[in-house]
């Protein structure tokens, strides 16, 4: 065998290994993307469930939430602050969820079901009163609020999330 043939065989073997390496790398990237999506979904749902458990996890919390969501006017200032904190927690959890959905890391059915649950919480008399208070405290500039598109999810009108209050404004 001459040197040219040996070099040609070595180049061919090197080319085969390069092609195999590219396929291996592509498979690893695909697996990494699946893992990222799984982790992202898990993190978003855990955050939302944690907020839910903090709101309704005990009998005492359920009694408070029923009172707060049905009759906001009967709440003391401390109780209004507590509801304000709970609603802000839900806004933060939903913001996290929305960001993951926009990035493609969250299935639409999961996103829609949690969005509808979030909208239902905000549309209670106490939820609306609290959101109005939040809205007064955190008014967004018109260029943020006006450049969003309303869409309907299961009969609930929501806007893509430019800012958390953008979603809330639709439900006031």
Question: Measured between alpha carbons, how far is 121 from 47 in angstroms, rounded to an integer?
Answer: 16
The residue-averaged pLDDT of 91-102 equals 79
What is the structure's pLDDT at 155?
A: 62
What confidence category does residue 22 fall into, taking pLDDT thresholds of 50, 70 and 90?
Answer: confident
How many beta carbons lie within 10 A of that of residue 100, not counting itself?
Answer: 20
Give the least confident one: 36-40, 61-65, 115-119: 36-40
The reported pLDDT for the residue numbered 160 is 47
pLDDT at residue 162, rounded to an integer: 42
**In this structure, what are the phi and psi dihedrals at residue 147, rounded to the nearest 5 degrees?**
-100, 35
Q: How far apart are the first and last CA of the chain?
A: 84
Q: What is the mean pLDDT of the chain?
A: 76
CA distance 67 to 45: 26
- In angstroms, the CA 127 to CA 87 distance is 8
Q: What percent of the chain has pLDDT over 70?
A: 77
């Amino acid at each position: 065998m001459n040197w040219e043939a040996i070099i040609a065989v070595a180049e061919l073997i090197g080319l085969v290994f390069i092609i195999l390496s590219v396929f291996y790398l592509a498979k690893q990237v695909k697996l990494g993307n699946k893992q990222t999506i799984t982790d992202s979904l898990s993190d978003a749902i855990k955050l939302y469930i944690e907020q839910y458990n903090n709101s309704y996890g005990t009998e005492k919390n359920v009694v408070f939430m029923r009172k707060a969501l049905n009759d906001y006017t009967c709440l003391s200032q401390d109780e209004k602050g507590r509801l304000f904190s709970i609603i802000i927690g839900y806004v933060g959890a939903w913001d996290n969820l929305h960001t993951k959905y926009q990035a493609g890391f969250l299935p639409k059915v999961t996103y829609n079901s949690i969005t509808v649950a979030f909208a239902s919480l905000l549309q209670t008399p106490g939820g609306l009163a609290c959101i109005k208070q939040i809205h007064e405290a955190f008014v967004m500039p018109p260029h943020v609020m006006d450049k969003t598109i309303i869409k309907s999810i299961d009969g609930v009108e929501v806007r893509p999330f430019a800012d958390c209050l953008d979603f809330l404004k639709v439900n006031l």
